[in-house]
Structure 1
Amino acid sequence: MRIILVHPAGSNWMPGKKDISATANRMAPLGLLSIAAYLAREGHEVFVQDCLGPRAVPGAGANAARILEMAPDLVGVSATTSGFLDGYDLAVRIRAASPRTRIVFGGVHVSALGAALLEQFPDIDFLCMGEGELTLAELAAGQPPEKITGLIWRDGGGVVVNPPREAIPDMDSLPFPAYEKLAGFPRGYNLPLFSYIDTPGATMTTSRGCPYQCSYCDRSVFKRGYRWNSAGYVYDHMQYLRDRFGVRHITVYDDLFTARRDRIARLCDLLTQKPLGVRFNCAVRVGHADDDLLRMLRDAGALQLSVGIETGDHDLMRTHKPGVDVEDARDTVRRIQAAGLRVKGLFMMGLPGETAASIRRTSDFVLSLGLDDMNMSKFTPFPGAPVWPTIHQEGAFDPDWRQMNCLNFVFVPNGIDSKETLDQLYNTHVKRFYSDPAWRKRFRGRIWEHRRSIAYALKHLPAFLSAKKSFEPAEKRT
């Protein structure tokens, strides 16, 4: 069967402003690539249309035309909340031009909302709930829809919800993602600026699921279990990226990369005994990063560790990230840097219960940590997150799917008087971090290490200057 898997462009920036998200950080659609590799191994002819890729054509019409040129039997669309409507726009165009082509949607938004989407969006034939590899393989092999677990489908005028599919137990049974199906990979897929020393870069995942339940996190696809690739598989995956594509820096996008200490110890041992000449970044959770493990990561080639902290307010931390304490987070940052590693703090503004005072406490906390880098996302309530059922009681919520991308405030907590105030607080405190003399001194000390990022930034200077204006306090913009 001829199958095209689609990553829709979506809305990834702020309304009325030039979208530079792909310029700043273009990430390979790893979930689609894993499905593509699995389907190809099953003998299907598989293509990937990345509408955010470096060689993508602009607009739904042009992307739909490219898809139709390949005469697909099956089109699979993986969409986030902000990307779903763009994906559906493609589906409408494909259906009008090729009624015989079957269209299946999957991804976190689909897994969270389920059957209601088939009722609202008539040009979708199937919904794939949860992991997609086995479900799509059975669909492509011609299995009757009623026998495919994890599938939601149309039966005459009704919608049928099949039993959920069990999680793939052996993660090592999956092939490496089909990176080769991305036009322009790896040079056209860039890691965040100043997060690497050498290029080209690539991304990978080595586990699925998370046993924790933060209030803002949607676990609709991989649920709360935790499964992982073995250390040997991860090492081979890294070696494959180096040998096949020349990759020199890898960012591991696991929520809980270090949760299985024995696995990471073995991986670090492999990377130390048989170095690949590849640096890597990963995330650690507070409580899963002891000093010996940090030293092992450093010796194995780790450069930067991200830590999900979210807030510097004790009450908000207790509510939204149970099991993590503000002072424990401070200790984790200190120990990461003491081990000779960079640390990036991940924060979130606008959580339910947030006030101007709690935002100030977080801003003060951020500066006190002496971080090497920081990311402040805008809290976005997603349908599968624990906070979703009560979100309308917590503040004003505008469920505009296109803007639900963590880059726009669609929710204003009761403790903030308006979205304009929240935007102003965000701009002020993000700028405060990057204006801090201590941070600037650390940055200047790494100018040589940052040379490739600086060259990239200069190449795209107009776009980055435009983005910088988005973080100027509102009263200074006219």
Structure 2
Amino acid sequence: IHPPLGLCYLASVLKTHDVSVQILDANALNLNETDVIKYILENKPSLVGFTMLTPSHSFCLNVIKKIQKDCITVAGGPHASALPQQLAQEGFIVVRGEGEETILDLVAQKPLKDIDGITYMGQDKLIHHNPNRQPITDLDSIPYPARYLLPNNGVDKPYRSAASRYATWATVLTSRGCPYSCYFCNKNIFSHRFRPRSPENIVGEIELLVKKYGVKEIDIADDVFNFDLKRAETILDMIIDKKFDIYLRATNGLRADKITPSFLEKFKRAGGDYIAYGVESGSQEVLDLIPKGITLAQIKRTVKMTKKAKIRVAGFFMFGLLGDTPETMQKTIDFAKDLDLDIAVFNILAPYPGTRLWHIIQERGGKILIDNYTEFHHTANRALFTLPGAPEPEDVVAAYRRAHKEFYFRPTYILKQLLKTRSIAQLNEMVGGLKSLLRIS
């Protein structure tokens, strides 16, 4: 469970304007709809904002039905930005894209017609889609996220990353925006333009996390941390100079074509022990259709360099991509095994609303196979759409199950993991992981 940094950023901006703010992380606290409704009705806020991902749409909608007569209800996040007209019809004021500036206008009760970046239903019962708000250029102007409003300051349980070594752990965003155009990604709903924070601003946040909250691990959660390699190395140099006693991880998927031995050497010296790469497919033809803009040879070379630097390596893979066949999906499984990865993350392609894939399915006579957004997730363990020319759903699921079995149940892989085990707790964790994989495969 990752802390909701988006909400923390909004809260920090509101706090600087002396607005009373609370964050209720229903996911982390394992709260159901009734719990959330009760909390809202008891606290009587004038405005309630929801960060809406596609699987949480139904949850948020059920809550708003019980509270909207008592307060203003606002929705933001990828799902809301992708389907603003639908959510406005359902009663939300939709904040499209970044919300730090928009939320201040809403709290100040500025007339809705004068607020850029929102979609809403007016008193005339018509949907009003205001002009887009320009992305924030000076990210250093945004205060550090208000993690202190989360349970355990957002750095300890219930928050946890699968790659964590310690309990005290935090995610840091050093930039916003991704200049790449992968057809399955919903991040580009916000901005294609890469907008970095300054290295000084980033290291200042890390220092706060280490000194004030005792954080032992930092997870860089950018869409593409190493897009500007010189900037990334400057950040690492500053972390090295500060002599932070931390583990550093890049779990969101670095670009394998923008890795150098110098970057890896500095990443390791800064405390880096884990990097994930977005591989996606073992077929060059399928990669070119994404368009990933990367070659299998580059991926193989980068993974080899990363292992040589003694950094743990993970790879992300997907089944059911455009151009996939049973043969190309087997190539993906074989490529994953050939890469000598520590962890392989296999998922089934999900056509999130607002992505190019979502529109391709509509335009080419495809079909979404589920009616309930709650099941709409790339970890749903099932094929979510059909499309002429795409692999059959049963072939996609078969490849997904086979991948887990072929990768994780190799005797050589199990032996390597056993040799790395240093405690009974680690051994129990490994056994638990294998049991979970057995249920998938």
Same fold (TM over 0.5): yes
What is aligned with 1:266?
234
**How many Å apart are 1:362 and its aligned residue?**
0.4
Q: 1:290 aligns with which of 238, 256, 260?
A: 260
What is aligned with 1:52?
27
**How many Å apart are 1:395 and its aligned residue?**
5.0
1:144 equivalenced with 2:144 (yes/no): no
Alignment map for 1:395-410 (pairs within 5 Å): 395-400=366-371, 401-408=373-380, 409-410=383-384
Root mean square deviation, CA, Å = 2.1
What is aligned with 1:61?
34
Distance of 1:355 and 1:394 partners within structure 2: 19
TM-score (normalizing by structure 2):
0.92
Distance of 2:194 and 2:434 partners within structure 1: 41
Change (3 A) 1:225 1:384: same
Distance of 2:265 and 2:15 partners within structure 1: 39
Q: 2:200 aligns with which of 200, 221, 232?
A: 232
User: Is the contact between residue 108 and residue 220 of structure 1 (CA under 8 Å) also seen in structure 2?
Assistant: no
Distance of 1:303 and 1:148 partners within structure 2: 44
Q: Once the two structures are superposed, what CA deviation does each residue of 1:350-406 show, in whole Å capped at 9, x if it has no partner?
A: 112221111100000000000011111210011221222221537543253221111
Q: 1:187 aligns with which of 156, 165, 172?
A: 156
User: Is the contact between residue 196 and residue 303 of structure 1 (CA under 8 Å) also seen in structure 2?
Assistant: no
What is aligned with 1:159?
127
1:433 equivalenced with 2:407 (yes/no): yes
What is aligned with 1:91?
64
User: Is the contact between residue 96 and residue 119 of structure 2 (CA under 8 Å) also seen in structure 1?
Assistant: yes
Change (3 A) 1:469 1:446: closer
Equivalent residues, number:
433
What is aligned with 1:251?
219
Alignment map for 1:57-456 (pairs within 5 Å): 57=31, 59-95=32-68, 99-119=69-89, 121=90, 123-124=91-92, 126-156=93-123, 157-184=125-152, 185-193=154-162, 195-282=163-250, 283-392=253-362, 393=364, 395-400=366-371, 401-408=373-380, 409-412=383-386, 414=388, 418-448=392-422
Distance of 1:414 and 1:337 partners within structure 2: 40
Distance of 1:439 and 1:33 partners within structure 2: 40
**How many Å apart are 1:255 and its aligned residue?**
1.5
> Which sits farther off after the overlay, 206-215 or 258-267?
258-267
TM-score (normalizing by structure 1):
0.86
User: Is the contact between residue 281 and residue 302 of structure 1 (CA under 8 Å) also seen in structure 2?
Assistant: yes
Structure 2: runs of 5+ lacking an equivalent: none
**How many Å apart are 1:101 and its aligned residue?**
0.4
**How many Å apart are 1:451 and its aligned residue?**
6.6
Distance of 2:230 and 2:390 partners within structure 1: 45
Higher helix share: 2
**How many Å apart are 1:338 and its aligned residue?**
1.5
Residue type at the aligned position of 1:202: A
Q: Secondary structure at the match of 1:115?
A: helix
Structure 1: runs of 5+ lacking an equivalent: 1-25, 473-478
Change (3 A) 1:361 1:40: same
> Which sits farther off after the overlay, 406-415 or 238-247?
406-415
Distance of 2:408 and 2:73 partners within structure 1: 45
User: Is the contact between residue 131 and residue 221 of structure 1 (CA under 8 Å) also seen in structure 2?
Assistant: no
Q: Once the two structures are superposed, what CA deviation does each residue of 1:90-134 show, in whole Å capped at 9, x if it has no partner?
A: 111112xxx130001111111112223322x1x32x110100111
User: Is the contact between residue 248 and residue 279 of structure 1 (CA under 8 Å) also seen in structure 2?
Assistant: yes
Q: Secondary structure at the match of 1:431?
A: helix
Q: Secondary structure at the match of 1:191?
A: coil
What is aligned with 1:15?
none
What is aligned with 1:13?
none
Residue type at the aligned position of 2:41: L
Change (3 A) 1:469 1:410: same
User: Is the contact between residue 416 and residue 422 of structure 1 (CA under 8 Å) also seen in structure 2?
Assistant: no
Distance of 1:466 and 1:442 partners within structure 2: 18
What is aligned with 2:2?
27
**How many Å apart are 1:64 and its aligned residue?**
0.9
Q: Secondary structure at the match of 1:89?
A: helix
Distance of 1:155 and 1:395 partners within structure 2: 34
1:470 equivalenced with 2:439 (yes/no): yes
Change (3 A) 1:311 1:249: same
Residue type at the aligned position of 1:82: P
> Which sits farther off after the overlay, 356-365 or 177-186?
177-186
